[in-house]
């Protein structure tokens, strides 16, 4: 195991990962954030350097941790050799197996290998699988000026909005998620439409892997073009900062899939996998 701390080597890693899209997208987003101030206190673990075969991004060991917070306790994985990834998992001190945590990646074998090691460590594994999607380059994104009949108040989210996002997110509704969303809003780009009273009615945020997530419009404000406007505006904002604009969508989320098709987003050949791992009661 090698923890990559050199800023020059981390920039080199970023360039290497870019040549391995789309499978490297989650790790790439985390490494980009590390190289741009590291607001989420992440670090990079590899099997070797410079000829690495597997890389994992994780929370820095010195960062404050809640062992029940799988939102923040998140690892992203990219590998060229699945055996190297398994060996990293099995190495001492790469993963904190005493926490509830998640693993994210775009490799089809990610679940089987992770589950095998997790079983040996007495953890249960829950898999969620999504379509992976990437927005077109900003120059070819649809024009947003005509998406709504009247100009909406388009701005960004504030930490004061975190409770609303926690209550409306299918993955939310708990204290850990509330803190996580507040951290995302503080650290990363977001976009929202506000009503006349200043309350958010439609929004999207960016997570610790530079993934567009929690795109949502309140039911009373749907069919006004807000969802497209928010998604395209956030995609432009990310691309203006050099980030890829990418996201994930469940197979049965017909409304979101239709929206993504309408803005000519590309559905990637690989799928996004999120594994939530929970230690079994002793």
In the block, residue with structure tokens 């005493």? 98
Note the residue count of the chain. 282
Query: Cα separation of 232 and 226, whole Å?
Result: 10
Query: pLDDT confidence of 150, banded at 50, 70, 90?
Result: low
Coil, strand or helix: which one is 124?
strand
Is the pLDDT confidence value at 74 over 90? yes
CA-nearest of 246, 188, 242 to 11 is 242
Residues 60 and 100 in one domain: yes
Residues 119 and 144 in one domain: no
pLDDT (tens digit per residue) in 119-128: 999 999 999 9
Is the pLDDT confidence value at 282 over 80? no
Residues 111 and 219 in one domain: no
Residues 190 and 239 in one domain: yes
Coil, strand or helix: which one is 220?
helix
Q: Any idea what the CATH number is for the domain that residue 169 is in? A: 3.40.630.30
What range defines the domain where residue 124 resides?
Answer: 2-131+272-279
Share the mean pLDDT of the chain.
Answer: 93
Query: pLDDT confidence of 144, banded at 50, 70, 90?
Result: low
Residues 49 and 159 in one domain: no
Characterize the bridge pairing of strands 101-105 and 74-79. Answer: parallel
Residues 38 and 106 in one domain: yes
Query: Cα separation of 258 and 114, whole Å?
Result: 33
Q: What's the pTM?
A: 0.93
Residues 121 and 188 in one domain: no
What total number of domains does the chain contain?
A: 2
Residues 141 and 260 in one domain: yes
Residues 100 and 182 in one domain: no
CA angle, residues 233, 176, 171, in degrees to nearest 5 = 55
Report yes or no: 180 and 12 within 8 Å, Cβ to Cβ. Answer: no
pLDDT (tens digit per residue) in 168-192: 998 999 999 999 999 999 999 999 9
Dihedral sign of CA atoms 260, 262, 264, 267 in order: positive
Residues 118 and 223 in one domain: no
Q: For the residues 4-30, what does the mean pLDDT come to?
A: 97
Residues 14 and 110 in one domain: yes
pLDDT (tens digit per residue) in 203-247: 999 999 999 999 999 999 988 889 999 999 999 999 999 999 999
Query: pLDDT confidence of 145, banded at 50, 70, 90?
Result: low
Q: Any idea what the CATH number is for the domain that residue 104 is in? A: 3.40.630
Is the pLDDT confidence value at 1 over 90? no
CA angle, residues 185, 236, 268, in degrees to nearest 5 = 95
Residues 127 and 211 in one domain: no
Half-sphere CA count of 176, side-chain side, radius 13 A? 13
């Amino acid at each position: 195991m090698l923890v990559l701390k050199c800023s020059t080597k981390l920039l080199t890693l970023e360039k290497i990962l870019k040549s391995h899209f789309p499978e490297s997208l989650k790790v790439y987003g985390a490494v980009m954030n590390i190289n741009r101030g590291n607001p989420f206190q992440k670090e990079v673990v590899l099997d070797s350097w410079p000829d690495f075969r597997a890389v994992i991004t994780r929370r820095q060991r010195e960062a404050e941790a809640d062992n029940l917070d799988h939102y923040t306790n998140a690892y992203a994985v990219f590998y060229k050799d699945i055996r190297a990834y398994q060996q990293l998992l099995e190495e001492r001190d790469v993963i904190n197996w005493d926490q509830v945590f998640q693993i994210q990646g775009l490799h089809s074998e990610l679940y089987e290998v992770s589950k095998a090691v997790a079983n040996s460590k007495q953890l249960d594994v829950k898999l969620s699988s999504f379509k992976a999607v990437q927005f077109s380059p900003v120059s070819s994104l649809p024009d947003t000026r005509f998406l709504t009949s009247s100009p909406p108040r388009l701005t960004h989210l504030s930490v004061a909005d975190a409770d609303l996002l926690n209550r409306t997110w299918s993955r939310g509704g708990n204290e850990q998620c509330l803190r996580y969303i507040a951290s995302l809003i503080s650290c990363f780009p977001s976009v929202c439409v506000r009503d006349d009273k200043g309350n958010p009615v439609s929004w999207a945020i960016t997570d610790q892997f530079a993934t567009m997530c929690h795109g949502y419009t309140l039911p009373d404000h749907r069919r006004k073009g807000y969802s497209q406007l928010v998604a395209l505006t956030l995609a432009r904002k990310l691309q203006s900062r050099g980030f890829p604009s990418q996201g994930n969508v469940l197979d049965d989320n017909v409304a979101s899939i239709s929206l993504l098709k309408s803005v000519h987003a590309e559905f990637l050949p690989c799928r996004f996998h999120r594994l939530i791992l929970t230690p079994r009661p002793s």
